[in-house]
């Protein structure tokens, strides 16, 4: 998640502090991975890190990891406090499957950069309604949009579809 966010923010230089010597050595190619899940994760990591001008990873002993834990805990503090409910995302697939799927989708996005204009328009229409209450001038279209949009929410400027229980 962090690499994709940094890539989307067009960050050029990444420094990673990791408290796992094993993971650091796998990423630096000091150790050879044998398990197919680890190999897949490393492949995805290598592809994501290739988007940055520089990528450095270093090991931080667990006893010196208090700063990283404190920084990780700050995320919720800076979230939008005006939300009346907190969306919950259920992870239905193992992380490795989601990472492989995300990398495949990223490859498709790069190939089809110009073909998403139709999809972007409805997404932007939904986001405009949810965030800014912009609605069509036609009453029938406005009612239809209101009903469709009720199944979606916007979190951090990303559009999410709610499940039947109202959770993401």
pLDDT digits (tens, 9 = 90+) for 21-43: 888 888 888 888 888 888 888 88
Q: Determine the Cα angle at 90 with ends 85 and 94, to 5°.
A: 155
Q: Does residue 9 sit in the same domain as residue 68?
A: yes
pLDDT of residue 121: 81
Q: Does residue 89 sit in the same domain as residue 167?
A: yes
Note if the pTM is more than 0.75.
Answer: no
pLDDT of residue 38: 86
Last residue of some domain: 79, 111, 135? 79
CATH number of the structural domain spanning residue 53: 3.30.420.10
Q: How far is CA 122 from CA 27, 96, 117, 127, 168, in A?
A: 40, 30, 9, 9, 19
Crossing angle of helices 95-111/36-49, nearest 10°? 40
Asked whether the beta carbons of 60 and 19 are under 8 A apart, the reply is yes
- Under the banding of pLDDT at 50, 70 and 90, the label for residue 92 is low
Q: Which residue segment(s) compose the domain that 2 sits in?
A: 1-79
Counting the structural domains of the chain, the total is 2
pLDDT digits (tens, 9 = 90+) for 138-158: 999 999 999 888 888 887 778
pLDDT digits (tens, 9 = 90+) for 97-131: 766 776 676 666 655 554 555 557 888 898 888 88
């Amino acid at each position: 998640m962090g690499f994709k966010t940094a890539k989307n923010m067009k960050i050029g230089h990444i420094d990673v502090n990791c408290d796992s010597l094993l993971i650091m050595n796998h990423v630096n190619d000091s150790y050879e991975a044998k398990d197919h899940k680890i190999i897949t994760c490393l492949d995805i990591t290598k592809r994501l890190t290739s988007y940055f001008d520089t990528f450095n990873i270093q090991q931080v002993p667990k006893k010196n990891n208090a700063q990283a834990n404190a920084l990780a805990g700050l995320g919720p503090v800076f979230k939008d406090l005006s939300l009346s409910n907190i969306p919950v995302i259920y992870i239905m697939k193992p992380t490795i499957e989601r990472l492989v799927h995300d990398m495949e989708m990223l490859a498709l996005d790069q190939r089809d950069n110009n073909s998403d204009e139709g999809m972007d328009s409805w997404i932007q229409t939904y986001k405009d309604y949810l965030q800014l209450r912009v609605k069509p001038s036609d009453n029938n279209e406005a009612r239809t949009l209101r009903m469709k949009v009720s199944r979606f929410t916007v979190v951090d400027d990303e559009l999410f579809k709610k499940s039947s229980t109202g959770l993401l």
